[in-house]
Structure formats: structure tokens, C-alpha cells
Structure 1
Amino acid sequence: MRQRFARWAAGALIFSAHALVPIAPVLASLVFWRKRYVLDYTGTVRKARRHIAAMQKGPALHYFQDVAGRVQQVPEHIEGECVQCGNCCMNHECMFLEPAGPEKFQCGIYHSPFRKASNCGSFPLHREDIERYSCPSYFVVAGAKPVIPIYPARC
């Protein structure tokens, strides 16, 4: 049942994103308070189409299968730190990814609460995330027990 819902939700998201492409620059400008998305309307539409195509390759389904329901599963113990390679940004296809130097990239909407609720705010969730994007800096520690946060009991 949960798998079916995840497929349906991912399909609905992709369908909606396709339908909104013509107004994507305006929406992005309003939501993230950056007028450059409207000023470069054609470029933003092109990036939005690439972004949607990349989402269809797995990130949309991954969000509804793994990210939204991650509380039910204890993740593997992952270590490392971001080296700003941009691979995790749908292999450089994210419309919000910006160059930050030679071979370095940064998220153009990093401080937005919308980004934190997406796949981006959970990377890497598990081994498959690291492998999907050929991440050069995060790794699963073999044999290590996952860290499980302990919260005080509520009375």
C-alpha cells in the first residue's frame, strides 16, 4: 500500500511540475525572493525542464518512499562531509544549483525552509543515496552501529 502511494504521489508531483513549467520562473521568484528567475525566463524554463527530467529518474519516488517515511527505518551509520561537488543535486541537473568556483557548486536556495523539507535536507539518507550520485565524500561505516537519537519520555 505504501509503495503504491509513493508511486502515485511521485507521479502526481511530476505531472504537476510539467504543468507548471510555463510559470516556474514566476513561482521560483516569488517563493525564493530572487528576481533573476524571471529576468532569465528562458534559461529558468530550460533548467526547470532538466530538473523535472532528473526528478523522474528516481528522486521524486525516493522522496515519497524513503524521506517522508524515514522514521520507520534506522539508517546506516554514515560519515563524511560535503565537498560541494554538486553530484547530489540530481547529478548537476537541479535548477537551483549554482557554480561556486572551479569544480565547486552551491545551492541557490540553501537557507529556504522549502529546501530543508526536500530530498536535499536528508542527503545522504542511506547507501543507495551515496551510490546513486557517486558521492566522493560521504561513506557508510562498515560494522558501525547507527546512531539513534534518544528523546526524553513525555508524561
Structure 2
Amino acid sequence: MPHSFPVRDTGAPALLCPATLTDAALMQGVLTVLSDQQLASVAIMLTEETQRRLMNAITTEIRAAVTRAVEERETDSPAPVVRAQFRVRDTDSMPPYWDGTDATLRHTDGRSTRHLDTSDTRLEELLNDFTCVKQPSARSVLTIDLRTGGFHY
């Protein structure tokens, strides 16, 4: 589906096909006609879309990991999990990042499962990518509501 952006010189809309966005030379041509404000708007749209996609992928992955953990009795309760929480890892050599090695799960029966390890999984990779678009502070906690897919930090 083409997108329409006003062209600075004429004000007429320019239609972009998806191939334009993936061809570096064509995209550079598109970017050169955008004003600073339009370019900033495009950057915001791209960041928001990347964040939305990552949040959906993280939610899918954590739901699958939680289902496996409950089925394999790796949790402190057999009750369904409604929330997953990730803390921030903060090291001297790196900025803070979402830590996939120490998830805490909250079950419907009120119990918690601590320290679900999702290291060396797709989920850990996605959390690292999410750090790039949603940089946490040193004491942040990421809570994912597995019923709604909502993210709270």
C-alpha cells in the first residue's frame, strides 16, 4: 500500500511503494525532498512501528516460554501466568538493558515464579532489540500483561 507524503517543492503528494523504502538510493532521493520537520516525523513513525513490532514479538515469545514452563512444571504454581516482569541489568561497561535472564512471573493464584531464565533464546534477542528503541533507566522494571499484551515500565 503506497503512502503519500507532500513534496516540498510542489505540495503534490508523492506515492511510495514498499520497494522504494528498501532501496537505499531511492530512499535517499525521497529523504532529500523532506523538510527537517517531515524527516523528524518519518523518524518517529519508524521508531513507533519498530517498537510496536518488537512488543508484539516479545509478547508472543514470552507467552510461549511461559506455557512451556508451566507445562514442564518449572514454575512455582500450575496456575496461568498473567504478568511477566523483567528488570534491568546495569554493568559498568554497558548502558542499562532489559535482562532476559531473570524474569519474574505472576500467576492468577497470586503466587510468583522467580528467576525464569530466558537467556540464549529469541526472547533475549528481542529484549536486547527493545532496549534500542526503549532505553530503560537503571532501576526500571518492564511488566508485560500477558492477557492484554500491554507493556508498562
TM-score interval (norm. to shorter): under 0.3
Greater relative contact order: 1 or 2 (C-alpha under 8 angstroms, separation 6 or more)?
1
TM-score by length of 1: 0.26
Instruction: Please report the TM-score for the alignment, with normalisation by the length of structure 2.
Output: 0.26
Larger radius of gyration: 2
Give the helix-richer structure, 1 or 2: 1
